[in-house]
Every structure is written in structure tokens, then in C-alpha cells.
Structure 1
Amino acid sequence: MDDDVISERLRRRVRRDFPDAEVAKGVFGALRVLAAELADSRQGIERLLASAVFIAVGDIDRFISAVRCARSDWRDLLVAGGLGNEDWPSVLDRELGPRA
């Protein structure tokens, strides 16, 4: 899967939340796999991936739990990540910054 599946603004957030380069690399890899697994969910991939990152708040164990949650039910992931309501686009912009 292309690196492009992870938006630049989400990349910045991952680097900020996971400053250790090796940990961030692992997070990026897991996000790419998750994007492929959730491609049929009919939800925006950025929204789904951001939910996992938001849940983690920089903690790799919380991130792993978020990925497990996503694999079980992506709707639970969105709710837990704060992106389950109609205002999710504005939440994404507030948390990640505007789209480039």
C-alpha cells in the first residue's frame, strides 16, 4: 500500500505523539496495514486511522489496543477516538490542522 494512505497532517501528528523514530515507523506500518484491512468500511481512511492515533495519545500500548478495536468493530474505534459524531470533519481539522 502507498505511503499516501497516511495524510501528511496525520504523519505530523504521529511524529509528534510518538517522537521515537523507530516507534513512529512501527505506528506508520500498522496504520498502513489497518488502512488495507478497513478499505471496505466505506469510511474515510484518514478518519479511521486518526481515531487510532487519537485513542493512543502517544502510548504504544493504547495504540495497539486501538488497532485491535478497529479490527473488531471500526464503529467502536470512531466513537472511542472522538470521530463518531457528525462533527467529525471539524474535530479532524482541530486535532490535525487544516488539509494542505
Structure 2
Amino acid sequence: MRLEPGYLAHPPNWSTEVQITQRLTQYVARSFSDDLSEDIIASLERLDGEFLHGQDAERVGAAIVILVARGVAVDSAVGLAKRDWRDLLVAAKLGSEDWRDVLAALLGDGDK
């Protein structure tokens, strides 16, 4: 594939860093043991956002957390996110248009 001059690999609004929101961090802290919370947050912090392809980072991070809450190992949930973020979102029930409402119900309307 030949890239034309001026081609941007990522549009200017795409982040290559996964930002962990305060409300997601608070949800993880109150929902899991201290050790597991630390493991989840550390795993989310290590994610390279390039695999997001413009998806909301909180949505993807929350999807990982939802799967972990259902008993999926942290590394397995992160691996799914890296392989196919779409499958991750569907598995976490965040694949439809109402995902913002689902996240607000789960995490609260606090600071993103």
C-alpha cells in the first residue's frame, strides 16, 4: 500500500494512549479486591491505544473490566481487546448504540 503525501496514519483526534477515567478507576476499586484492582489498572495503563482505531478508550477499558468481573482473566480480556476490539465490545454488551447509557448505569455519571 502506497501512502500519499500528507496521509495521516491516525486522524488528529485519535489518541495512541489509553486514558483511564476517574469513574472507571473508582468502579474498579470498589468492585474488586485490592490486588486484582491494581492488576486491572496496571494492565489498562500498559495498553497501547493504537489498537482502538478511534473507539472511546473508556468504553474499551470498561469492556475489559466487565469481562474480568464475569470471571475472564485480565490477560485474556486484554488479549481480546488487542485482537479484535469489536468482539470485546460485543462480549461486554457495549457493542450497541446505547453503550454510553450502559456505561453511565454501570459507572455513574461522574467525571470521565
- With structure 1 as the length reference, what TM-score do the two structures score? 0.82
Give the distance between the partners of 2:110 and 2:63, measured in 1 at CA. 17
- With structure 2 as the length reference, what TM-score do the two structures score? 0.74
Shift of 1:40: 4.7
Q: Once superposed, which parts of structure 1, at least 4 consecutive aligned residues long, lie more than 3 Å away?
A: 37-40
> Are the structure 2 counterparts of residues 19 and 27 from structure 1 closer, same or farther at C-alpha, using a change threshold of 3 Å?
same
Which residue, 89, 93, 97 being the options, matches 1:82? Answer: 93
How much is the aligned-residue C-alpha RMSD, in angstroms? 1.9
More helix by share: 1
Shift of 1:58: 6.6
Query: Could you tell me which amino acid in structure 2 is paired with residue 50 of structure 1?
Result: A
Paired residues in the alignment total: 94
Of all paired residues, the percent bearing the same amino acid is: 37
> Are the structure 2 counterparts of residues 15 and 32 from structure 1 closer, same or farther at C-alpha, using a change threshold of 3 Å?
same
Q: Which residue of 2 aligns with 1:94?
A: 105
Query: Could you tell me which amino acid in structure 2 is paired with residue 30 of structure 1?
Result: S
Q: Which ranges in structure 1 are unaligned for 5 or more consecutive residues?
A: none
Give the distance between the partners of 1:17 and 1:75, measured in 2 at CA. 25
Shift of 1:37: 3.7
Shift of 1:64: 2.2
Give the distance between the partners of 1:42 and 1:11, measured in 2 at CA. 21
Does residue 46 (structure 1) correspond to residue 44 (structure 2)? The answer is no
Q: Which ranges in structure 2 are unaligned for 5 or more consecutive residues?
A: 1-17
